[in-house]
Structure 1
Amino acid sequence: MLLWINGPFGGGKTQTAYEMHRRLPGSVICDPEHLGFGLRRMMPPPLRGDFQDLASWRQGVVEVLDLALTHHEGVVIVPMTVTDPGYFAQTVGRLGELGHDVRHFTLLAQRETVLRRLRERGLGRLPGRLAGGWKARRSESWAVERLDGALERLKEPGFAEHLWTDDFTVPRTADRIAVLAGLTLRPNRGGAVADRYRRARTGLRHIRFD
């Protein structure tokens, strides 16, 4: 099974993916961003844009995920924002055409909720406190600039199944996806403090500087 977790940047995809991976034995995370940033770094800086516009990225994602799904026995979890219907058809849709069991979920939240999550992501809260305000990193500024358009497009029926997460913690969102996908997660142990620690650790691991 492929679990593709979609949503706006800052919408909780990565946190939810790693929560599910932690509690789902045999699962693996395959992050298409690794391929995208690798392709981006190959190009001279003036030519760098959105790596999803590269056909090589879309084709490569399908090739790698097809290989993983064919030879890995556990669930493959993919946290990746895709808002272009054409690109969605060429990646998520294509994997379904190849015969894989694809379960797609879009995490949605109100604009204010996503902005708050972006502020708190990784090290975002500490610099804000020290400087008396929040100054977004370049990657977060990029996400904020595209937030409204992403939210509008992802609400469209073609990006279902939609899950609104404003009032849900990461573990509860993972539980909802598991139920809808027919999966059984291990119990979430450790309480709120452990959950916050895991979210902070995951955020730090995924800070992007390019």
Structure 2
Amino acid sequence: MIWVNGPFGGGKTQTAYELRRRLPGSVVCDPEHIGFGLHRTLPPALRADFQDLAAWRQGVRETLGLALRGHPGTVIAPMTLVDSGYYAEIIGRLREDGHTVHHFALLAERTTVLRRLRERGLGRGLKHESFAVARLDHCLERLAAPEFAEQIRTDRLTVPQVADRIAGSAGLSLLPDTDSALRHRLRRAWTGIRHIRFD
């Protein structure tokens, strides 16, 4: 399994889908969807950080474990995870269960991440990304810690280059990146649009 960690707006989803595109038989299993489901079962006033719910952490571990046991290809999980206890509870337990989990934290300068958040806001500005902005400094600080290795600095890397770094470190062979610059921009835009949240 490849767990793609990083701050909100750090490029996790784009990287995960680039890996899936170029790694035959791979699948993206997004732990965030489990959190969305838990939120939707609660009244709005009770919707805090779903990672603090034991049900989310247990559900992610069980769901990813099922995917790892039943799917013959690589499982890719893009998810921000900065609490070392939660990291141990999910990734540590998956490893204890005998699964190979390669973890990568995508890091960048604060200004780089803010620019990416503006871009994914589709003109709505950083106000729409207030949750991500409020947690940015904490995420960058925590993910630079040794327990969140392997870290990849992405400021000067394209998404395909980040995917290449991850694959090389995990011992995986990706298909060549044959996208033109225009096709790459369109693919990134489409991936971003598909993952816009409206709730």
3-state SS of paired residue (2:76): strand
Tell me which of 122, 127, 131 is aligned to 1:136: 127
Structure 2 CA distance for aligned equivalents of residues 38 and 87 of structure 1: 19
For residue 186 of structure 2, what is the amino acid of its counterpart? Y
Q: Which residue of 2 aligns with 1:180?
A: 169
3-state SS of paired residue (2:33): helix
5 Å matches for 1:105-120? 105-120=104-119
Q: Which residue of 2 aligns with 1:154?
A: 143
Structure 2: tracts of 5 or more residues without a match: none
5 Å matches for 1:95-106? 95-106=94-105
- The list of structure 1 runs, each at least 4 consecutive aligned residues, that deviate by more than 4 angstroms after superposition, is none
Matched, 1:189 2:178: yes
Structure 2 CA distance for aligned equivalents of residues 111 and 148 of structure 1: 8
**Deviations 1:100-156, CA, capped at 9 Å, x for gaps:** 0110000000000000000111xx24x36xxxxx3531xx11000110011001100
CA contact (8 A) 2:107 2:140 kept: yes
Q: TM-score, normalised by structure 2?
A: 0.98
For residue 182 of structure 1, what is the amino acid of its counterpart? G
Structure 1 CA distance for aligned equivalents of residues 173 and 127 of structure 2: 37
3-state SS of paired residue (1:104): strand
3-state SS of paired residue (2:127): coil
Shift of 1:191: 1.5
Matched, 1:166 2:155: yes
3-state SS of paired residue (1:146): helix
Q: Which residue of 2 aligns with 1:37?
A: 36
Q: TM-score, normalised by structure 1?
A: 0.93
CA contact (8 A) 2:126 2:133 kept: no
Structure 1 CA distance for aligned equivalents of residues 172 and 103 of structure 2: 14
Percent identity over the alignment is 65
For residue 9 of structure 2, what is the amino acid of its counterpart? G
Structure 1: tracts of 5 or more residues without a match: 129-133
Structure 2 CA distance for aligned equivalents of residues 136 and 28 of structure 1: 32
Structure 1 CA distance for aligned equivalents of residues 126 and 103 of structure 2: 33
Q: Which residue of 2 aligns with 1:91?
A: 90
How many pairs are equivalent?
Answer: 199
